[in-house]
Amino acid sequence: MTISEVAERTNGRIVCCGNNTEAEIEYAFSSDLMSDVLKVEKENVLLITGLTNLQAVRTSEMSEINCIVFARNKKIGSEIISLAKETGITLIESPYSVFRISGELYKAGIKPLF
Amino acid sequence: MQYKYKIAGGDFANAGTVASSVKKTLRQLNIDHSISKRVVIALYEGEVNVVAHAYSGIIDVEIENGRIRILISDRGPGIPDIPKAMEEGYSTASPQVREMGFGAGMGLSNMKKNSDIMNITSTPGEGTAVELITYLEPNE
């Protein structure tokens, strides 16, 4: 599934850095705990989180996650957006809960990490 | 090659800038991707630890003799019981650190997992030093 399809299925809005919207996503991981996100070893992974701070983007950079879906209609601040631009990570705002985003993407064939 | 970075305790906005910069350097040096990812993750955890717990810190990165050696040394409260601190789930992090998505007591064990050798020395009331060594060739 491409990043633009992820946005569509989660009723989301791509907030920034729309230059890799055709990149393929194979797996997703839902977490607000960044230490767990740092254990992600696979590639083409999407992060689903309710944690809207710089560390969500920093941690994704380190774990080589190139797309984050922020749940529950959380608004993403300008500092977060500029860090995402710098690191080439696509940010999506979704009005759905983490549970629903996970369910919609799972149903559409996105795989869990474990 | 040697690099030196300073970190300010409590500077949450910049937590991760050192790891980000080292990541770019390792990429420029064409270091094997799986090795650089481990190094960067261990370093990031260490950097977050300094920001979360210490007053200030210095990170020395040395890439030579077939290995990457990182020394993270801080002035801070120190770790009174290192084996306890290594246990997964044990944490003394503040609510502010937990709000950042850290502080679940997994940092040190994740650093150990993502390095070939990890040495910790600490003096309570003075500070902590963590040495991380990762070899550039597997099984070296």
Smallest Cβ distance to A34: which of B13, B37, B101?
B101
Q: What's chain A's length in residues?
A: 114
The pLDDT of residue B21 is 97
CB contact under 8 A, A34 and B37: no
Range of the domain at A45: 3-112
With a cut of 50, list the residues of chain A below it in pLDDT.
Answer: none
Structural contact between residues B136 and B34, judged by C-beta atoms closer than 8 angstroms: no
Joined together, the tokens standing for residue A108 give 């559409």
Q: What is the mean pLDDT of residues B118-126?
A: 97
pTM for this prediction: 0.94
Helices (H), B29-91: 33-53, 82-86
Domain tally for chain A?
1
Digit-coded pLDDT (tens) for B70-93: 999 999 999 999 999 999 999 999
User: Which residues of chain B does A51 touch, with a Cβ-Cβ cutoff of 8 Å?
Assistant: 101
d(CA B107, CA A39): 11
Whether B140 maps to a domain, the answer reads no
> Residue A17: its pLDDT value, please?
82
Range 4-33 of B in CB contact (< 8 A) with A: 12-13, 15-16, 19-20, 23
Lateral strand order in the sheet of A67-70: A13-16, A90-93, A67-70, A45-49, A27-30, A111-112
Q: Select the residue of A32, A55, A62 nearest B40 (Cβ to Cβ).
A: A62
Output the average pLDDT for chain B.
Answer: 95
> What CATH number does residue B49 fall under?
3.30.565.10
B84 located within any domain: yes
Q: What crossing angle do the helices spanning A54-63 and B33-53 adopt, rounded to 10°?
A: 150
B33 in any annotated domain:
yes
CATH of the domain at A95: 3.40.1390.20
Prediction ipTM score: 0.91
Rounded-to-5 percentages of helix, strand, coil across chain A: 40, 20, 40
**What is the span of the domain harbouring residue B12?**
2-135
Instruction: Report CB contact under 8 Å: A55, B100.
Output: yes
Per the DSSP assignment, residues forming a β-bridge with A91 are A16, A68
Count how many domains chain B has: 1
Tens digits of per-residue pLDDT, B91-104? 999 998 998 899 98
Q: Give the nearest chain B residue to A33 (CA atoms).
A: B101
pLDDT for the residue numbered A18? 72
